[in-house]
Chain A
Amino acid sequence: MEHSLLFLTAVKSPSKRVRASAALMGLGQLMARQWVKGLAYLGALAAFIAYMAATGVRDIAGFFTLGTVEADPWLGTAGDDSIIMLLRGLLTFVLILGLVLLYRSNLRDILETERTGAYGERAPGFVLSMRSFLNNKFYVVALAIPVAGVLVFNVIPIVFMILISFTNYGGDIVPPKLVDWTGFESFRRVLSLSGIKETFFRILGWNLIWAVLSTAVNYFGGLALALLLNKKCVKFKRFWRMFPILAYAVPGFITLLAFKFLFSYGGPINHYITAAGHSAVGFLDIDAGMKARIIGIFVNAWISIPTSMLLATGILSNLNPNLYEAASIDGAGPWQQFRQITLPFVVFSTTPVLITNFIGNFNNFGIFYFLRGGLYMDGYFLASDTDLLINWLYNLSIDNNYYSIGAAVSLIIFLITSAVSLSVYVRSNAYRREDSFR
């Protein structure tokens, strides 16, 4: 039933009780002698009205003004805190949405009572209707807490950041100074303000290269390793497989820190270089250039290849071995068999994973945060030549408080990743199978 349709059905209903519930939520239930339910609906409505009267209306006004009184330590005036006001306004909107949903459930409930009541049954009491609710609407009960959690800790923060990207919050403008709505100003600055613009496009270019290259290296590396371990002539497969699984099991941050030490000035590699009479190499220094990027790709491969190997092993075990036999009877060599049988099959069944990996690599924060972390280079605005957009985002918003610009960059990242995945999804076969998008 659509929104308005439900409401219209209720208003035009011949039953007094339904119309009563449409006018005042819970009233119809009381008239049907469903005391607990009716009082619960009425109570929720009363609490909502009390909240709106106490702070809700002011909060919504504050959401639009973002504060009008600036704090003045000399006069001792406590000013408005724009960010708190933004947040309170947002929460009030969520509450209003909640009330609308509750109102709809009230309409649906009373209509249901009328329908069964028409057959001359007594309206079910509270306990009974709760029990039947748990049984028939198990999914509502089961999903309530997960959905609420995701709402509070994922959806609201994301909406909050989207709102922030349309303000001038950050830099010098942090409370007690007043923050204002500035429309698309932050996006304009990222894309056209000199200094920021160059940084953005430089990082974006490297970010795309990085994502494509490292996804390819990890994917084919894992596939190659799985094929190698699958070879008939390789004995003690479990033994050989132990090593990549070991790498897989070591927590990522330990691996990353260990590699940083490995390539550091005091590290063993530099020790042998100096021992051979050369001067130490700053592999990860600010002027390292390509060296640091290549090390990043290598370290990322070290961490990710075991996972893609496990995946490829699982998928290869589903592949019908008769195909190979038929192919070799037809005279296909090993390379041709790989091209014609293995690769299409594996790629076909892992397209969704490939997209997930691509996005994961596009937003791979840890690699360069640990290997280099916090380097600011000439020609870059608060970033270095290995930083990905996600690292830049961190430098901007966490280390330097450029919140609105950071939020704008996040939204741009979102647009890029969702565009890439959408275009691949639409083309992939997985999309056509109803449930398997991933």
Chain B
Amino acid sequence: MKWKKTLDWLGAHLALLIVCFLFFFPVLWLVLASFSATGSIYDLKGFFPGSFSLSGYKTLFGDTTMYDYPNWLKNTLFVAVGSSILGTVLVILTAYTISRFQFKARRTLMKSTLVLSMFPSFMGMTAVYLLMVNFGLINRLWALVLIYASGAPMGYLVQKGYFDSISASVFEAARLDGASSFRVFRSIAMPLSKPIIVYTALTQFAWPWSDFILPNLLLKNKDKWTVAVGLMHLDETQFTRFAAGSIFIAVPIVILYFCLSGFLVTGVTAGAAKE
């Protein structure tokens, strides 16, 4: 039996090595390319650059006449932080209310969000685009914030799952002590839901941070571009700039994910894994 175990161990680790290589290699390629001394992908001659330098990052932040990366970054931050704050408030309120309260419109609301989510996202977006064009609201960053934040409550189910799992007796006790609904929400529900608030804020931040469809539709002026739109406009000759720009915005979000990976598992499984 011993050789069978060894074989099992060997097979498992071989498979792991292959999988991890597949996941890691493209990332490694991009990281190394961002430190390439030359700009075009044709100069790389294979997977890895021949010589390394920081010039990719220097041009990224220094040479801004054609591609104004610092400005894209500023726009992206504005949109992402704005939508994250506003969106988190709206999602948490929605999820808490639907989880805690029984009222007549509750089932109707839940069913309507379900039906709404079946429409292809583009359908609404085309309309939003047409409306924004008709009202001259193209090229406004705050319009993006409003659209992201207002769409956020549609994805309330994960958060609702979390609130469902908090024992109702905690709330009952507070109500019996005479706390008002608002007080219960603020002083009891909120402190108990830190993990889910962090998860929500992170996802509400990451979505605008990496979305390209909406900004690509609504931001036509170069000085309003977000990073995603800007990077889309870089071709093969600007490969090092692309790699550097990508790494620069991916690193913060990767670090965030790793620091908060505990919250992530809570979030991903909160709504889904119910027994």
Chain A CB within 8 A of B177 CB: no
Chain A CB within 8 A of B172 CB: no
B116 touches A359 (CB 8 A): no
B134 touches A87 (CB 8 A): yes
Chain A CB within 8 A of B120 CB: yes
Chain A CB within 8 A of B142 CB: no
A410 touches B20 (CB 8 A): no
Contacts of B134 in A (CB 8 A): 83-84, 87
B272 touches A157 (CB 8 A): no
B123 touches A403 (CB 8 A): no
Q: How far is the CA of A417 from the CA of B118 in the complex (A)?
A: 6
Chain B CB within 8 A of A234 CB: yes
A149 touches B273 (CB 8 A): no
B119 touches A267 (CB 8 A): no
- Size category of the binding interface on chain B: 35 or more
Most buried by B among A136, A249, A310, A363: A249
* In-complex Cβ contact of B16 among A157, A240, A307 (8 A): A240
* In-complex Cβ contact of B126 among A156, A244, A251, A403 (8 A): A403
Q: Which residue of A lies closest to B261 (CB)?
A: A245
Task: Bits for A187-213, please: 1 = Cβ < 8 Å to B, else 0.
Answer: 000000000000000000000000000
Contacts of B154 in A (CB 8 A): 150, 154
Q: How far is the CA of A316 from the CA of B164 in the complex (A)?
A: 21
Asked, given contacts A139-B101, A257-B246, A438-B272, whether A153 binds B150 with beta carbons under 8 Å apart, the answer is yes
Asked, given contacts A410-B122, A438-B157, whether A154 binds B116 with beta carbons under 8 Å apart, the answer is yes
Contacts of A153 in B (CB 8 A): 124, 128, 146-147, 150-151
B210 touches A253 (CB 8 A): yes
* In-complex Cβ contact of A135 among B13, B119, B180, B268 (8 A): B180
Name the interface residues of B115-157: CB closer than 8 Å to any CB of A.
115-116, 118-131, 134, 146-147, 149-151, 153-154, 157
Q: How far is the CA of A275 from the CA of B46 in the complex (A)?
A: 9
CB distance from B274 to the nearest CB of A (A): 5
Q: Which residue of A lies closest to B96 (CB)?
A: A142
Asked, given contacts A234-B13, A350-B272, whether A146 binds B90 with beta carbons under 8 Å apart, the answer is yes
Q: Which residue of A lies closest to B40 (CB)?
A: A266
Chain B CB within 8 A of A107 CB: no
Name the interface residues of A240-274: CB closer than 8 Å to any CB of B.
240, 242-255, 257-259, 261-262, 264-268, 271-272
Q: Which residue of B lies closest to A275 (CB)?
A: B46
Chain B CB within 8 A of A147 CB: yes
Q: How far is the CA of A399 from the CA of B210 in the complex (A)?
A: 22
B273 touches A258 (CB 8 A): no
Chain B CB within 8 A of A426 CB: no
A138 touches B19 (CB 8 A): no
Q: How far is the CA of A315 from the CA of B130 in the complex (A)?
A: 43
Q: Which residue of B lies closest to A396 (CB)?
A: B126
Chain-B contact segment, one of A8-16, A23-31, A225-233, A285-293: A225-233
Q: With contacts A135-B182, A153-B124, A433-B274 known, what are 18 further pairs, Cβ within 8 A?
A: A83-B130, A142-B185, A147-B153, A150-B154, A155-B116, A240-B20, A246-B23, A248-B257, A251-B250, A253-B228, A266-B42, A268-B29, A310-B269, A313-B265, A410-B122, A410-B123, A418-B115, A421-B118
Interface residue ranges, A against B (CB under 8 Å): 83-84, 87, 134-136, 138-139, 142-143, 145-147, 149-150, 152-158, 160-161, 164, 225, 228-229, 231, 233-234, 240, 242-255, 257-259, 261-262, 264-268, 271-272, 275, 302, 306-307, 310-311, 313-315, 318, 349-350, 352-353, 359, 363, 365-366, 370, 389-390, 393-394, 397-398, 403, 406-407, 410-411, 413-414, 417-418, 421, 433, 435-438
| 23 A-B residue pairs with CB within 8 Å | A135-B182, A138-B185, A147-B109, A147-B153, A149-B149, A150-B116, A153-B146, A153-B147, A157-B123, A157-B128, A158-B119, A158-B123, A228-B12, A228-B19, A245-B261, A253-B231, A266-B41, A267-B41, A313-B265, A363-B121, A394-B122, A413-B120, A414-B120
Give 6 nearest A-B pairs by CB, closest first. A149-B150, A251-B210, A157-B127, A314-B269, A138-B181, A249-B257
Interface residue ranges, B against A (CB under 8 Å): 5, 8-9, 12-13, 15-16, 19-20, 22-24, 26-27, 29-30, 40-42, 44-47, 90-91, 93-94, 96-98, 101, 103, 106, 109-110, 113-116, 118-131, 134, 146-147, 149-151, 153-154, 157, 164, 180-182, 185, 206, 209-213, 217, 228, 231-232, 236, 239, 242-243, 246, 249-250, 253-254, 256-258, 261, 264-265, 268-269, 271-275
